A and B are shown apart, each in its own frame.
Chain A
């Protein structure tokens, strides 16, 4: 029997003509892992809020909600509180108390359990989630990932049968998000808890999902196991959000079982090559040959000499973009927050050229954001020079620096807004000058005309980012610094943002962005740099950069690198396959691949 069933649910928000949910039918089986996806504003959050009466939005509602054989409204608040767990998006806002142990006990206190029972449950949860080490800490001291794990544990302490999660990883970095999703998988597999999850990092989550629900404009577009999904939503915008192996499978008109993970994609592509006409013998030698010749070139030399010199000595780049003067130049920068603390930025050398989209990638706590703050003069290095357009940063007046020269978007774009509507906020920026022409250009450029009357806080993450960008653009800066602009954005908004950023670079503006988003940087970045341990470990044109990495690279590259070491995006893989297909016999691909990796060696080698 289904644990939760939705029958013909239609929902209207107050004062709204169009339904937010249109005749949604859904059945969640006991122990199932259901992933819900769709563009922002498609109604997926509204749908999830119906899973619990306390969370249900106000408005007109038709249809039936059945939980465990009863109508949801007939299930008491107490029972709903205990049996249906709900985890929201923001790690911070959900935490109620100031101590980890107190937060874990909060729900159980509400249900009126005795101290002895709470102690046991809290102990269980803390052990299951590995919280023991920070059990006594204040919640302020936790990282974002830990906070979200705490929220999950606090809900799990109430021992729910059904766990509902609304984009729980959107505010986390990839590593923490991976941990979180792994924990969810563990809960599902080991405790048998039913899970309903909204997620846009489909690459990681589809592998463990039993069922995927794709929504569009308040209605169900498709509902199927992940492997059958490709055929159902082909041609839809949402298809772009699917994992790379699935998109490649579809673009190459694959048959049989659809691959979801990189490993399956690799196996499938390998199988396809074997059956695709190539001699089996050759197909067997093919993988080993390029791999062997590639390995020393990649991890050996790239990890050794050229990596070390990548940032300090831009010899690799001077060939391509000669004599161009860098817009931003960092020379031997050292920085630490306090005298007794360790260095956060060490011996950093970096150059950003005019008109490029420069992506600074790297893990958490490596000093990326700090570097951005150094360039933005919010912090000062204790050694080294920062030159902007050839002039040292300290020599600029504040009014010169923040305006025509530098536009800085903080990690949380909300920090920029000070007014009640987007429009007022933009006018606040220009002040009395009333330059309507410039205003219109910027509004069109960032595509926010339909949002002008809204409160900045009511916008979705992607919209906020664009409104904040508009605000900064009104200052007409030559250089724009972005701190993780794609955080919490779905694929569709990322595309939009990429288009806007590309437009800006064409205008001759330089964009420096810090990001965790490998796929985004690979597809749209001009130059990518890997930040590690306070300094740039490698800085190269985007394509070269990702080709050279073996782990820190795109899913498409990881899947197809064996045969095509130079592919970076899904489009590349498909293109290469088709090219090779057109050539007389796909066996012709192997020497080509060899040549390719050979030339790559030449580029990175001595």
Chain B
């Protein structure tokens, strides 16, 4: 899954919050392009050719739809291009805004697909567990329960089919009746089994005061370093946005900040931030290659 995913889950989470947060709330065209580029690169690193599928099926349609629909409903902006039949104007600004929000949506879809890959249930559970210990155990138990329940339903309906109780044939009331029976008996089954699970928990001293939460993660020096880097660059970017060194305005007229050296530097910084996982992963790959050739 790459080197970046091997960092502490908290570092992973902070990273995604910063990158996704900025590209969600700050629709700066340069930032949108950088975020999209970084997302595509990381997705390609993690999933390879599958990225193309995500791109074509998820992002492109969203992007195009937003670009096409926005001008039809949004008539703000000073530069009118032409009038629609119902008398509403189409403005240049609304088209630009449509493209901008399309790209933003595409970027978010992409980053969330990467998020899913990196933030496995273990990691989420660990993070939740830090805040709400009982919730983390409940989540873990339901993650175990749901697949078992569906599996049992499958088994029961198969067994029922073999004694002529098929839910895929017969009249609708018959099928509904069989389906209900299966659901009700499987629920009974689940309750029955949960008694034994409860026994097993009790016999392993569940319910005592002072339960701890074990995790397989450790926040080490490497994590601290990356965390500082992430928080530092987030602070720089946010202060740039606050001080209007970086700014963007779509309506009434599209305006952007001037391309000052500080602005350029912050572009570079955000670009590096978006590409950070890929950079870390590739650096690690190169290190491995040199290590191997050293052997």
Question: Which chain A residues have a beta carbon within 8 Å of chain B's beta carbons?
Answer: 52, 54-55, 77-78, 80-82, 85-86, 88, 90, 92-99, 101-102, 105-115, 118-119, 122, 139-140, 151, 154-155, 158, 376, 378, 398-399, 402-403, 406-408, 410, 412, 414-419, 429, 457, 471-472, 475
Contact = CB atoms under 8 A, between A and B. Distances in A.
Contacts of A99: 122, 140
Contacts of A52: 203
Contact of A82 (B148, B184, B205): B205
Contacts of A88: 196, 199-200
12 contacts: A82-B205, A92-B148, A93-B193, A94-B200, A98-B141, A110-B208, A113-B212, A140-B144, A407-B162, A416-B160, A419-B185, A457-B192
B7 to A, nearest CB: 17
Contact of B188 (A90, A109, A115, A457): A457
Nearest to B181: A418
Contacts of A122: 214
B196 A94 contact: yes
Interface in B134-182: 137, 140-141, 143-144, 147-148, 152, 155-156, 158-164, 166, 169, 181-182
Given A109-B211, A112-B210, A416 B199 contact: no
Interface of B: 121-122, 137, 140-141, 143-144, 147-148, 152, 155-156, 158-164, 166, 169, 181-182, 184-185, 188-189, 192-194, 196-197, 199-216
Given A88-B199, A410-B162, 11 more contacts: A92-B193, A93-B193, A97-B141, A98-B141, A98-B144, A110-B205, A398-B164, A407-B163, A408-B162, A457-B188, A457-B189
Nearest to B197: A93
A110 B163 contact: no
A36 B143 CA distance: 36
Nearest to B157: A415
A420 B205 CA distance: 33
B164 A475 contact: yes
B212 A115 contact: yes
Given A82-B205, A101-B216, A93 B200 contact: yes
A414 B156 CA distance: 8
A402 B144 CA distance: 34
Nearest to B185: A418
Contact of B164 (A80, A402, A457): A402
Contacts of B141: 96-98
| Best-surrounded residue of B141, B182, B188 (most CB of chain A within 10 A) | B188
B166 to A, nearest CB: 7
Contacts of A407: 162-163
A166 to B, nearest CB: 10
Nearest to A416: B159
Contacts of A82: 205
A42 B194 CA distance: 25
Nearest to A111: B205
Given A96-B141, A471-B163, A410 B214 contact: no
Contacts of B192: 457
Nearest to B162: A408
A112 B163 contact: no
Given A93-B197, A140-B147, A110 B164 contact: no
Nearest to A93: B196
A159 to B, nearest CB: 12
A402 B207 contact: no
A81 B196 contact: no
A402 B161 contact: yes
Contacts of B182: 418
Given A105-B214, A115-B215, A97 B140 contact: yes
B207 A403 contact: no
A118 B214 contact: yes
Q: Ordered nearest first, which 3 A-B pairs have the shortest CB separation? A: A81-B205, A415-B159, A93-B196
A140 B158 CA distance: 20
B211 to A, nearest CB: 6
B163 A55 contact: no
A378 B159 CA distance: 10
Given A55-B203, A115-B214, A414-B189, A472 B163 contact: yes
A118 B213 CA distance: 10
A378 B155 CA distance: 11
Nearest to B133: A109
Given A93-B200, A407-B163, A457-B192, A110 B211 contact: yes
Contacts of A106: 201, 204, 206
A410 B141 CA distance: 27
A158 B208 CA distance: 15
